[in-house]
């Protein structure tokens, strides 16, 4: 089991870093949306062969899960709202791509990886381990000074995943926050 968990961490972080490096490649400058969509899809592939319930994607209480996602988005956006001075919005293509990356990250880090760590080491390790891996995955795409905020967001989403055994809320919260930022 430790080898499986380590392999999932390496794979998920490597997929994130590959996406970031591809976005920086000179020949791919006009293909941002495609690169982001491919990165989100690649992260979702980590869930192949796993039951939705194992990942926190069951269908029960869907209304409450969606409402929880909206609440998570509001909490994630509070710091940004306090300092927001206006700015350009995302194009529709980049909006769709941002949602794809949000979904992929949640499925990979708080779905597949969380479930594997939880099964091997328990819930506290799953919350902390998935948060640490997610923060590491953002080390190439965010400035170092922003990584504590990334870790805080990851901790909030992982704590929700643990407390409710739900991934729908984190997916919705993450996607809405990314669209708004």
- Which residues in the chain land under pLDDT 70? 1, 28-29, 79-88
What 81-88 contacts at long range (C-beta under 8 Å, 24+ apart), as own/partner pairs, is: none
Distance CA 126, CA 53 (A): 16
Helices (H) and strands (E) counted in the chain, each on its own, are: 8, 0
pTM (2 d.p.): 0.90
Q: Which domain holds residue 148?
A: 2-180
Distance CA 89, CA 65 (A): 27
pLDDT digits over 45-55, tens only?
999 999 999 99
Distance CA 89, CA 178 (A): 11
pLDDT of residue 93: 84
The total of structural domains in the chain comes to 1
pLDDT of residue 85: 61
Q: Is 142 helix (H, G, I), strand (E, B) or coil?
A: coil
**Helix ranges (DSSP H) in 91-146:** 92-105, 114-121, 123-137
Nearest to 130 by CA among 103, 104, 159: 159
């Amino acid at each position: 089991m430790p080898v499986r968990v380590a392999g999932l961490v390496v794979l998920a972080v490597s997929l994130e870093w590959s996406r970031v490096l591809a976005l920086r490649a000179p020949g791919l400058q006009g293909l941002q949306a495609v690169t982001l969509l491919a990165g989100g899809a690649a992260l979702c592939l980590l869930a192949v062969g796993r039951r939705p319930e194992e990942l926190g994607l069951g269908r029960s209480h869907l209304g409450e899960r969606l409402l929880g996602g909206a609440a998570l988005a509001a909490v994630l956006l509070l710091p940004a709202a306090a300092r927001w001075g206006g700015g350009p919005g995302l194009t529709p293509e980049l909006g769709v791509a941002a949602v794809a990356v949000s979904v992929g990250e949640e499925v990979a880090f708080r779905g597949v990886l969380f479930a594997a760590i939880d099964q091997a080491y328990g819930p506290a390790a799953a919350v902390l381990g998935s948060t640490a891996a997610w923060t590491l995955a953002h080390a190439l795409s965010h400035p170092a000074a922003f990584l504590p905020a990334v870790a805080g967001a990851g901790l909030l989403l992982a704590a929700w995943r643990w407390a409710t055994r739900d991934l729908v809320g984190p997916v919705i919260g993450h996607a809405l926050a990314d669209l708004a930022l």
